[in-house]
Amino acid sequence: MIPVQGVEGARVAVLGLGRSGLTAARALRAGGAEPVCWDDNPAAREAAEADGFLCMPFKTEDHFDGVARLIVSPGIPHLYPAPNPVVALALEAGVPVDNDIGLFFQSFATRDWDSFDTTPRVIAVTGSNGKSTTSALIHHVLAQSGRRCQLAGNIGRGVLDLEPAEDGEVVVLELSSYQTDLARSLTPDVAVFTNLSPDHLDRHAGMGGYFAAKRRLFAEGGPDRAVIGVDEEEGRFLAGQLSQGPADDRVIRVSVARKLTGPGWQVFARKGFLSEYRKGKQVGSIDLRQVTGLPGAHNHQNACAAYAACRTLGLAPKTIEEAFHSFGGLPHRSQTIAEKGGVRFVNDSKATNVDSAAKALAAFRNIRWICGGLEKDGGLDALAEASANVRKAYVIGREAAHFAMQLKVEAEVCGTMDVAVAKAAAEAEPGDVVLLAPAAASFDQYDNFERRGEDFAAQVAKL
């Protein structure tokens, strides 16, 4: 655990007692603070009280008397579409609002670092799609190369649950827009922006607010190096804002849409080949077609971003390439879970929006597509072009009929996962891919996308 610095003797409120909230309370206590906690869920409060924490509701502005800061869990809105009532009270009382990411960056560096030969570093990854795979891939490459490293953030482990850094260690953080939007401290050494597509628009009051939340990691953080996906206008704009000119190699531009040229530092993938250029000359390349754990153009973008981040740490192209080949991919992200009779079953339950689903569809041919769920803003029109690889769609979810009507391919309303898997498998022929890429959230039928992917895998196992 990383004890929070600068809070000794302070009374700090913690709102939300899930994984990150409870870990933050423990780290605050370890730093000498007095955490006062609340969660609307009685079970969460009971767990906190069993751990020795005081729980009390914050119902009036007076309840914030003597409180130095409010720490808010990521799922709790602090501005849009409307602030949580407790957050609103804190702001009325003039109490600063922060999250565990802010506490981490406030507390990560210690006096022990004065005796280190190599200063620990933080690589922070954000973006709409691919940030989990990119983060895990960076961590995998570092581990395979023998570097001390830890992985945390939105990918599963709370940031304050990490061990204090050792000499030369690298911490890799996956950060969502919910996390970057609120953190008062953001100081990564290397920051990565994968891409941007519409998501969480209600939480950020539109695309402008969503991009602004991502941009804070770079504008507020001032990283030494910035790896920027430039296949969208927002990425190109961000790279332009951070760069002092075309030859500024503090900004590494990444693309899977075109060859990048110029005197700066670029990493791009075309037709399955990754290329690295510096000062107009090629200095590295990898044949990504042979990397089984990274199928499709969207994963090639992840590979380019991870490659660039690792190169900023001085790793050789050959070392990175060798590690790529041993990367098995992440669960629920273009994950091959079975093959039977020449039919491949792929779980991409993490494709919770239209853009990520379109990228999954572009990665395979002869697709039996299982899709549907809680539809997000923006409709499904963007799936039309990617649907060329689809032989038939099998639609699940409570609004399956409405979802199916918007598709440009033959679609059958199945409703539930067991029916969809059984029908897709029965109709599949050798060479087909039964792909779960929902293009929708899971909350109409499942607690989260992981549960949806696990159900898919369970139904496939029954075959």
Q: Enter the pTM of the model.
A: 0.85
Q: What is the pLDDT of residue 363?
A: 86
Which one, of 137, 144, 139, lies nearest residue 122 by Cα?
139
Tens of pLDDT, residue by residue over 180-207, are: 999 999 999 999 999 998 888 899 999 9
Domain boundary residue, one of 287, 305, 325: 325
Host H or E run for residue 90? helix 85-92
148 and 269, same domain (yes or no): yes
387 marked as part of a ligand binding site: no
132 marked as part of a ligand binding site: yes
Instruction: Please check whether residue 2 lies inside any domain of the structure.
Output: no
Work out the pLDDT band at 451, boundaries 50, 70, 90: very high
130 marked as part of a ligand binding site: yes
Is 137 within 8 Å of 151 (Cβ atoms)? Answer: no
Q: What is the DSSP letter of 43?
A: H
Q: What is the pLDDT of residue 356?
A: 87
Work out the pLDDT band at 376, boundaries 50, 70, 90: confident
52 and 124, same domain (yes or no): no
Q: What is the pLDDT of residue 125?
A: 98
Q: What CATH number is attached to the domain comprising 204?
A: 3.40.1190.10
* Angle of the 19-30 helix axis to the 42-50 helix axis, nearest 10: 30
pLDDT surpassing 90 at residue 26 = yes
- Helix, strand or coil for residue 420? helix
397 marked as part of a ligand binding site: no
Q: Which domain holds residue 229?
A: 103-325
d(CA 97, CA 90): 7
Work out the pLDDT band at 371, boundaries 50, 70, 90: very high
Work out the pLDDT band at 378, boundaries 50, 70, 90: confident
Q: What is the DSSP letter of 55?
A: E
Q: Count up the domains in the chain and report the number.
A: 3
Kindly state the tokens that stand for 41.
């869920």
Number of other CB atoms surrounding residue 289 within 10 Å: 12
pLDDT surpassing 90 at residue 361 = yes
Instruction: Please check whether residue 1 lies inside any domain of the structure.
Output: no
Which one, of 260, 331, 274, lies nearest residue 303 by Cα?
274
Instruction: Please check whether residue 5 lies inside any domain of the structure.
Output: no
Instruction: Please check whether residue 6 lies inside any domain of the structure.
Output: no
Q: What CATH number is attached to the domain comprising 385?
A: 3.90.190.20
85 and 178, same domain (yes or no): no
332 Cβ partners below 8 Å, 6+ apart? Answer: 347, 348, 349, 350, 449, 450, 453
Q: What mean pLDDT is predicted for residues 144-150?
A: 97
Q: What mean pLDDT is predicted for residues 165-186?
A: 96
Parallel, antiparallel, or unpaired for β 54-55 and 34-38? parallel
173 and 312, same domain (yes or no): yes
173 and 319, same domain (yes or no): yes
- Helix, strand or coil for residue 390? strand
132 and 68, same domain (yes or no): no
Domain boundary residue, one of 281, 306, 325: 325
For the chain, what is the largest distance between any 2 Cα atoms, rounded to a whole number of angstroms? 68
320 and 361, same domain (yes or no): no
Q: What are the phi and psi torsion angles at 80 (to 5°)?
A: -110, 155
Domain boundary residue, one of 325, 350, 370: 325
Q: What is the mean pLDDT of the chain?
A: 95
249 and 188, same domain (yes or no): yes
Tens of pLDDT, residue by residue over 54-82, are: 999 999 999 999 999 999 999 899 999 99
55 Cβ partners below 8 Å, 6+ apart? Answer: 36, 37, 38, 39, 45, 48, 49
301 and 410, same domain (yes or no): no
316 Cβ partners below 8 Å, 6+ apart? Answer: none
Tens of pLDDT, residue by residue over 260-301, are: 999 999 999 999 999 999 999 999 999 999 898 898 888 999
CB-hemisphere CA count at 13 Å for 258? 7
232 and 158, same domain (yes or no): yes
* Angle of the 100-107 helix axis to the 19-30 helix axis, nearest 10: 40
Concatenating the DSSP letter of every residue in 233-281 gives HHHHHHHHHH-SSTT-TTEEEEESSS---SSSEEEEEETTEEEEEETTE
Which amino acid is present at 75? Answer: G
Q: What is the pLDDT of residue 292?
A: 83
d(CA 251, CA 245): 10
Host H or E run for residue 449? helix 449-461
d(CA 335, CA 294): 9
Q: What mean pLDDT is predicted for residues 152-160?
A: 91
267 and 366, same domain (yes or no): no
Of the listed ranges 93-102, 211-220, 246-255, 348-357, the one predicted with least confidence: 348-357
317 and 200, same domain (yes or no): yes
Is 274 within 8 Å of 324 (Cβ atoms)? Answer: no
Q: What is the pLDDT of residue 9?
A: 97
Q: Name 335's bridge partners.
A: 347
Tens of pLDDT, residue by residue over 230-255, are: 999 999 999 999 999 999 999 999 99
Q: What are the phi and psi torsion angles at 270 (to 5°)?
A: -135, 130
Q: What mean pLDDT is predicted for residues 217-231?
A: 95
Percent of the chain at pLDDT exceeding 90: 88
133 marked as part of a ligand binding site: yes
Instruction: Please check whether residue 175 lies inside any domain of the structure.
Output: yes
Q: What is the pLDDT of residue 247?
A: 94
Instruction: Please check whether residue 4 lies inside any domain of the structure.
Output: no
Instruction: Please check whether residue 32 lies inside any domain of the structure.
Output: yes
Q: What CATH number is attached to the domain comprising 57?
A: 3.40.50.720
Query: Alpha carbon of 241 to those of 223, 226, 236, 268, 279: distances in Å?
Result: 13, 11, 9, 20, 20
Report angle CA 36, 39, 41 to the nearest 5 degrees: 145
Q: What is the pLDDT of residue 410?
A: 97
Q: What is the pLDDT of residue 440?
A: 95
Q: What is the pLDDT of residue 200?
A: 84
Query: Alpha carbon of 272 to those of 4, 299, 341: distances in Å?
Result: 44, 10, 27
Host H or E run for residue 136? helix 131-144
Instruction: Please check whether residue 231 lies inside any domain of the structure.
Output: yes
Work out the pLDDT band at 333, boundaries 50, 70, 90: confident
Of the listed ranges 13-22, 377-386, 400-409, the one predicted with least confidence: 377-386
Concatenating the DSSP letter of every residue in 321-332 gives HHHHHT----TT
- Helix, strand or coil for residue 350? coil
d(CA 203, CA 76): 10
195 marked as part of a ligand binding site: no
